[in-house]
Amino acid sequence: MVKAAVLVSGGGTNLEALLKAEEEGRMPSLHIALVIADREAYALKRAADHGRRGILIERRAIGMKRFSEELLKTLSENGIQMVILAGFLSILPETVIEAYKDRIINIHPSLIPSFCGKGFYGLKVHEAALDYGVKVTGATVHIVNEIPDGGRILMQKAVYIEPDDTAETLQRRVMEEAEWIILPQAAEMIAKEIENESR
Ligand code: GAR
């Protein structure tokens, strides 16, 4: 079984979906061994409620260089083989991307290549989709490389925009109808690949 870490910055509903999937036996190839937050986040409480280890490495307090060092050290000391970004809002340090090449996945709340890249995160993504006037949006899980939201796409799911949607209602529907479904599925897919490679 692959040991995974989930990196978070906020409410942690995607983390909750992952923990639920593991507990219900829908991710048999991985175990969420660690949750790491880059700032005070409700997601850490969710981790504790599920009996998982949570670690806070406050990026703003220690600066990017030390954050990178601490993060890499924590991952390797805990034998982490795969990293899942679930609402993680810092840019991931290059050292981590290199150390975990093809073993880091991210959930993004749009159909990449629309509304993605630098500056597109959280509600801003949904505001941009509504401002543009697209009628279909969704979520994407992709491999993380050095280009923000630019790595290989693993899964996507479309969500229709309703005429009376606000950024908030759209965010919620994209989570419910797309993110919470495809993130556990893609995580299981990559964990299975890692297991097969090490056989
Ligand atoms: C989610 O919608 C996630 O897709 C998004 O932040 C939200 C986190 O919610 N991530 C990004 O925008 C990354 N570019 P959560 O903390 O409840 O999972």
Quote the mean pLDDT of the chain.
Answer: 97
The pTM assigned to this predicted structure is 0.97
Buried b (16+ CB within 10 A) or exposed e, 163-194: eebebeebbebbbebbbbbbbbebbbbbbeeb
With the most atoms of ligand 1 within 8 angstroms of its CB, the residue from 88, 121, 156, 171 to mutate is 121
pLDDT per position as a tens digit, 111-136? 999 999 999 999 999 999 999 999 99
98's CB contacts (< 8 A; 6+ apart) are none
Name the amino acid, one letter, at 96.
V
Whose CA is closest to atom 14 on ligand 1?
121
Are the C-beta atoms of 99 and 22 separated by less than 8 Å?
A: no
Are the C-beta atoms of 143 and 154 separated by less than 8 Å?
A: yes
pLDDT per position as a tens digit, 23-47? 999 999 999 999 999 999 999 999 9
Active site residues: 108
All structural domains of the chain, each given as residue ranges with its CATH number in brackets, are: 2-197 (3.40.50.170)
Instruction: Decide: residue 97, CB within 10 A, 0-12 exposed, 13-18 middle, 19+ buried.
Output: middle
Give me the helices (H) in 78-136, please.
94-99, 123-132
